[in-house]
Amino acid sequence: MSSNNNVMQTDILIHNVEIVNEGRAVRGYVTVSAGMITEVGEGDAPEVLMSCGEVIDGRGRLLLPGVIDTHVHFRDPGLTHKADMATESRAGVAGGVTSFIDMPNTKPPTVSVAEVENKMRRAADVSAANYAFFIGATDKNIDELKRADYSRIAGVKLFMGSSTGNMLVDDDSMMRRLFAEVPALIAVHAEDEALLRSNREAVTARYGEDLPMEFHPVIRNHKVCLTASRKAVELAREYDARLHVLHVSTADELQLFTPGSVAGKRITAETCPQYLALSDEQYGMLGSRMKCNPAIKRPADRDALREAVRIGLIDTIATDHAPHLLEEKRGTALTAVSGMPLIQFSLTLMIQMVQEGIFSMTDVVEKMCHNPARVYGIDRRGFIRKGYYADMVLVNPDCEPYTITDSWVLSRCGWTPLDGLSVGNKVDMTMVNGKVVYRHGVLFDIPGAAMELKFVNMR
C-alpha cells in the first residue's frame, strides 16, 4: 500500500499528544480510519499524514483509551423519571466514558435473555456510548442463565444483600448451582442480608428511627461486607468459578484478593471513585448525597483501598452510577434512597487524585480502561492499539481550576455529590468508534456511532 493510499484512507490524525497506554506515557500520534485505530506512533507524525481528513493537535493534552464503566444503573426501562439510556450515556461521553455495562435492577428486571435483548434494542436506538448488559440472577432463573449467550451478555449479576429485593439470592443451594453451572463471569454485590437486618434492629432499638446519615455505615458495616464477600470468594474457589467482587468498600475485604496483574486471576475486585475519594468524615457535609450501598466507610478504609488500587489488589474502578432524584434522596439514614450519579465526573475525579499524588495516570488508565476490558473479555477495546476500535478520550490535565456544580450535570437527576469541588483537569474530546461525540462542552449526536460490546475469552 502506498502512503498516498494511506492518506486517502485516514479520517483523523491526533498528533503532538502524550499517549497514556499500557503502563507508559509517550509523546506520539494516532490515526483513525473507518472507526478503527490504524496507526500508533512515537514522536512526530509523518508529514504525509498532515493532509488527512481531520488533524487534531493534542499539544499539552493526554490521549487515553476511552473509559469503560462496567457498573452503571441507567434506570431504563421502567425508572426513567430518574434517568434513561439516552441521558446517562451522554453524561458518560461528556466524562470520557466510551462504553458501559448496565445492571439488571430495572423495571422489569433484566432476568431473562428477552429482557436483555429489549435493552440492546433500546441502546442501539439512543445510546451515545458502546453498551452491554448484565443478566440478573434470581432464585428461579438458573436455566435461563445457563443458556444465555455470553459473547453478547457481560455476565451474571448476583445480589447478595438487600440492595435490590426482587433479585436477592439468599438460597444457599441456588448460589451453589450458580457458581457450579453457569458458564459466565459472576459479578457480585456482597452484603450479608441477615447481619444487615440485625444491625438495623439493634441500632433502631437503641437510637430510634430518626437516624442521621452517619448511621448508614453502622448498619451496613464492615462485617456485613466481609461476611458476604468471603462467602462469594469461598464458593468461587470451590467451583473454580470466575468471580468479580463489585464495589469493595472496606480494608477488611482486601485479604480475599491477590495483588498484581489481572492475567490468570479467577477472582477479581472492583472499587468506585467514591470509596477512594470520600470517607465517613463527610457525611455531615454531604448527607444523603453520599449515601450508597455498600456504605462509604472510614478514612482507614479509604486509604487501604487507595493502596489496593496501586498494588493491584483491586483490579477495576467503575462508578456504580446510580442516579436518583434529589427528592428521593431526602430522609434519614433509613429512608433516603441509596446511590449517586458519578459517570460524568469519574475520570476527572480520578485525575484530580493523580494531581494530588495519590495515584499515577497509568494506574487510572489501567483500572478504568485496560482492566475492565481484560476482566470482562471485551473484544478490541480498552487500549490504544492498531486494529482496535477507536474509542479514545483527550484530556486537558492542567486546565484553569474550575468548580463542578449541579448545573453542569447532564444526568436527568441534575445533581452530583461533587457539587462545589474545585478541579484542575477536564475532558476535551471523546471519540466513540472513530466518531467525535463530545468536544469542548458540546455533544454531537451521531446515529449509529455506538456499538454493542462483544465478549471473548469468557469464563
Query: In the complex, which residue's CB is closest to Zn ion?
Result: 320
Beta pairing partners, 55: 13
CB nearer to Zn ion: give 301 or 320.
320
Which span sits near Zn ion by CB under 5 A: 93-101, 125-133, 312-320, 377-385?
Answer: 312-320
Q: Name the DSSP class of 369.
A: I
| Sign of the CA dihedral running 93, 150, 193, 222 | negative
Report the run of H or E that residue 422 belongs to, with start and end.
Answer: strand 422-423
Amino acid at 329: K
CA distances from 131 to 89, 102, 103, 116, 291 (A): 9, 8, 11, 11, 27
270 binds Zn ion (CB under 5 A): no
Q: What share of the chain is helix, strand, coil (3-state, %, to 5)?
A: 35, 25, 40
Rounded Cα distance, 283 and 286, in Å: 5
Closest separation in Å from C-beta 102 to Zn ion = 10
Shortest distance in whole angstroms from residue 166 CB to Zn ion: 15
216/435 with CB nearer Zn ion: 216
Confirm or reject binding of residue 102 to Zn ion (CB under 5 A): no
Q: Which is nearer to Zn ion, 279 or 293 (CB)?
A: 293
Site stretch for Zn ion (CB under 5 A), options 57-65, 224-232, 295-303, 317-325 = 317-325
Q: Which is nearer to Zn ion, 18 or 320 (CB)?
A: 320
Considering only residues 380 through 399, tell me which ones interact with Zn ion, judged by CB under 5 A: none
Stretch that binds Zn ion, among 207-215, 218-226, 318-326, 363-371 (CB under 5 A): 318-326
Cα(164)–Cα(110) distance, rounded to whole angstroms? 12
Least Cβ distance, residue 431 to Zn ion (angstroms): 27
In the residue annotation, 172 being an active-site residue is answered as no
Which one, 320 or 363, has the nearer CB to Zn ion? 320
Are residues 36 and 381 in contact, defined by beta-carbon separation less than 8 angstroms?
no
Residue 89 phi/psi, 5-degree rounding, is -70, -30
Nine cell digits for residue 396: 486537558
CB-count exposure of residue 425 (10 Å: 0-12, 13-18, 19+): buried
- Cell numbers at 28, concatenated: 506520539
Smallest gap from residue 287 Cβ to Zn ion (A): 20
Q: Give the count of residues interacting with Zn ion (CB under 5 A).
A: 1
Would you state the cell numbers that stand for residue 111, as one nine-digit string? 432476568
Q: Does 320 bind Zn ion (CB under 5 A)?
A: yes
- From the candidates 76, 315, 320, 391, give the one annotated as an active-site residue: 320
Comparing CB distances to Zn ion, the nearer of 15 and 71 is 71
Segment contacting Zn ion (CB under 5 A): 46-54, 215-223, 313-321, 365-373? 313-321
Cα dihedral 331→337→341→342 (10° resolution): 90
Rounded to the nearest whole angstrom, what is the least distance from the CB of residue 320 to Zn ion in the complex? 4
Q: Are 269 and 294 in contact (CB under 8 A)?
A: no
Measured from the CB of residue 18, what is the shortest distance to Zn ion in angstroms? 33
Q: Mask: binding to Zn ion, 236-265, rule CB under 5 A, as x and -?
A: ------------------------------
- Report, as residue numbers or ranges, the catalytic residues: 320
* Site of interaction with Zn ion (CB under 5 A): 320
